[in-house]
Chain A
Amino acid sequence: MTSASGKKIRALIVDDEDLARQIVREMVAPHPEMEVVAECANGFEAVRMATELKPDLMFLDIQMPKLDGFEVLELVGTDIAVVFVTAFDEHALRAFEVHAVDYLMKPFRAERFEAALHRAKQRIGGTVPFRPEELTASTRTAGTYAERVVVKDGTRVQIIPVSKLDYAEAQDDYVALASQGKKHLKQQTISSLEAALDPKTFVRIHRSYLVNLERVTRLEPYGKDTHVVILNDGARLPVSRSGYSRLKAFLDQQG
């Protein structure tokens, strides 16, 4: 059996354990319609390979060095079908919220693997789009916030700890993340970024701006109704009227 177009299904295997990759490789082997294009031992490699090789399917471990499986998916995920392969059952809910094809629990039977493969083929045949930029926000448990933001720059992965994120600026379908004098573009809406970050630290001061309160040094009037904040690196960001009341509430609280 081959996919509808007659092309082979190209798969990427991502797991930091050699033996865990081996077992997936072995179970894929009897399927002539499948082709393993690469194996990756960590999240960075996975992002690079997925971007370069554009596979149809990814077998993805969750706990890995550098980037975890969800972060990998957030960076590459638009049209790659994902089967999570992990020993952890506590991520299952989150996996399905990010529209994973299946969730295999280590160790698994060959029959179980076949079923996952079957589902993956159905997904690859059809078109079920999903928006990976929403997943970080939607799947985070209440009360916990992102400790870092991952950005893909070509095939390179940039990790920005939230403490080093100065502000974010909406630019069409992207957000520009300002950190240590540099700007990083990420395909994400500013609202979903806002939802992922701790609201005690990051305040939406404008439709297009989210600012790290710890960077704010001054708040000055600007024009009739609007204000401007000045950050400690000298950057000036516009503050809308509703943004001003939100910001003021925080600054008053801090005394």
Chain B
Amino acid sequence: MHPILGHFRRLVLYLAAWGPISAILVYLFASLGGLSWGRAVAMALPLCALYAFVCLSAWYTCRGIPLENSASWLAHLVAAGVASLLWIAIARALTFVLSSFQTFAGLDQQTARAYPILFGSGVLLYLLAVALYYVLLSNQAATEAEKREVEARVLARESELKALKTQVNPHFIFNCLNSISALTSSDPAKAREMCVLLGEFLRRTLGLGDKALIPLRDELALLHAYLSVEQIRFSSRLKVEENTASGALDSLLPPLLLQPLVENAVRHGVAQLTEGGWIRIEIRQPEPENLAIAIENNFDPEAPRRKGAGIGLRNVRQRLDASYGNRAKLDVRANHDRFIVSLNLPAEKEP
């Protein structure tokens, strides 16, 4: 779209800018061309009004020929010359029309002297318009680049968050299905219960992933479904203890933030321990605006580091960064055979 014709306010401003130009032209006609003031005004005003629109066409050549093109100046000079000749032609036509009136008798001889002035200022004005358009073009390009960059950043952040969120561990599913397969003959009621729990876990995981923030109670329900399934798998080997301040249940937090931490506690804890393991989840609200979450588990200090260790924690850290910046803190400690992940984040509530 034309940057001036397309915008009414800009068009008004642009035409207003031609006011001083026509005043100069009146002066030039009067002083150099020897026209009387009245005749100079009668010539200059319609000529400027028309030339203002001729110059608008420079936009199209500017858009077509980028400034980097070495031949651009030559092209614009030729265009300026053509525009100025056109302007002189208009001036001649105007003179011809005006001469037919009694008051403007003899105008044609007078204006013939003003044509060089007209040509010179025509070229100059056209080139001025060209310069203006190039400034507008580069401005437009800069805004667009900035817009694209912002869009790219938003997209990258969104896809990053998405990638970090959807992380149902396939091995967990396969092992669950294997447990269900075993239970179908030995304990069909328990097999059914496990199907229901697994279904609940999957539904919540898939459903919560799309939301930006969820109440803590929803995240806890997901953890309960997950841990109930794992307790069937590991039977008496897995002990779970949970302690949540009831006031914290409505606090909002990013979905599936705690699940990977609890899954880590299972994978690096009980799954590596022959004698069984425990997980303790403690959620407190030390101050009304603060949420303190601790997930603790025992582990085998001699177990080799499993492949992929640390990815879950890194993801949680990145997500906290993305959501809260420096208002959230993640602290990881290993103490003999205990592993403790502490989270501190603002306790935000639904308005």
Contact of A107 among B180, B235, B271 (CB under 8 A): B180
Question: Which A residues are in CB contact (< 8 Å) with B274?
Answer: 16, 41-42, 44-45, 65-66
Q: How large is the interface on A (under 10, 10 to 19, 20 to 34, 35 or more residues)?
A: 20 to 34
Tell yes or no: B273 within 8 A of A by CB: yes
How many angstroms from the CA of A105 to the CA of B300 in the assembled complex? 27
Question: Which B residues are in CB contact (< 8 Å) with A16?
Answer: 271, 274
Rounded to whole Å, the gap between the CB of A6 and the closest CB of chain B is 31
How many angstroms from the CA of A165 to the CA of B179 in the assembled complex? 40
B178 near A19 with CB under 8 A, answer yes
Question: Which A residues are in CB contact (< 8 Å) with B212?
Answer: none
Question: Which A residues are in CB contact (< 8 Å) with B178?
Answer: 17, 19-20, 23, 87, 106-108
Contact of A87 among B174, B185, B273 (CB under 8 A): B174
A26 near B185 with CB under 8 A, answer yes
B233 near A19 with CB under 8 A, answer yes
Residue of A nearest to B180 (CB): A107
Residue of A nearest to B181 (CB): A107
Tell yes or no: A207 within 8 A of B by CB: no
Tell yes or no: B326 within 8 A of A by CB: no
A87 near B305 with CB under 8 A, answer no
Question: Which B residues are in CB contact (< 8 Å) with A17?
Answer: 175, 178-179, 233-234
Contact of A105 among B174, B185, B271 (CB under 8 A): B174
Question: Which A residues are in CB contact (< 8 Å) with B174?
Answer: 87, 105-107
Tell yes or no: B202 within 8 A of A by CB: no
Rounded to whole Å, the gap between the CB of B350 and the closest CB of chain A is 39
B288-328 interface mask toward A, CB cutoff 8 Å, 1 = contact, 0 = none? 00000000000010111100000000000000000000000
List A residues 126-171 near B (Cβ within 8 Å). Answer: 147-148, 159
Contact of A65 among B179, B181, B232, B271 (CB under 8 A): B271
A23 near B182 with CB under 8 A, answer yes
Rounded to whole Å, the gap between the CB of A70 and the closest CB of chain B is 12
B182 near A88 with CB under 8 A, answer no
B183 near A66 with CB under 8 A, answer no
Tell yes or no: B186 within 8 A of A by CB: yes
How many angstroms from the CA of A167 to the CA of B224 in the assembled complex? 49
How many angstroms from the CA of A65 to the CA of B301 in the assembled complex? 11
Question: Which B residues are in CB contact (< 8 Å) with A108?
Answer: 178, 181
List B residues 269-295 near A (Cβ within 8 Å). Answer: 271-274
Rounded to whole Å, the gap between the CB of B113 and the closest CB of chain A is 88
Tell yes or no: B171 within 8 A of A by CB: yes
Question: Which B residues are in CB contact (< 8 Å) with A20?
Answer: 175, 178-179, 182
Residue of A nearest to B185 (CB): A26
Contact of A66 among B171, B180, B300 (CB under 8 A): B300
Question: Which A residues are in CB contact (< 8 Å) with B185?
Answer: 26
Tell yes or no: A18 within 8 A of B by CB: yes
Tell yes or no: B177 within 8 A of A by CB: yes
Question: Which A residues are in CB contact (< 8 Å) with B177?
Answer: 106-107
Residue of B nearest to A109 (CB): B181
Tell yes or no: A63 within 8 A of B by CB: yes
A19 near B303 with CB under 8 A, answer no
Rounded to whole Å, the gap between the CB of A23 and the closest CB of chain B is 4
Tell yes or no: A232 within 8 A of B by CB: no
Contact of A147 among B171, B234, B272, B304 (CB under 8 A): B304
Rounded to whole Å, the gap between the CB of A66 and the closest CB of chain B is 6
Question: Which A residues are in CB contact (< 8 Å) with B180?
Answer: 107
How many angstroms from the CA of A45 to the CA of B232 in the assembled complex? 23
A23 near B303 with CB under 8 A, answer no
9 cross-chain pairs, A with B, having the tightest CB-CB distances, nearest first = A87-B174, A106-B178, A23-B182, A19-B182, A107-B178, A107-B181, A19-B179, A42-B274, A107-B177
- Taking A22-B182, A26-B185, A65-B271 as given, write out 11 further A-B residue pairs in contact, using a Cβ cutoff of 8 Å, ordered by the A residue number: A19-B183, A19-B232, A19-B235, A20-B182, A23-B178, A23-B182, A26-B182, A65-B272, A106-B174, A106-B178, A148-B304
Q: List 9 A-B contacts (CB under 8 A).
A: A16-B271, A23-B178, A45-B274, A65-B271, A65-B303, A66-B303, A88-B171, A105-B174, A108-B178
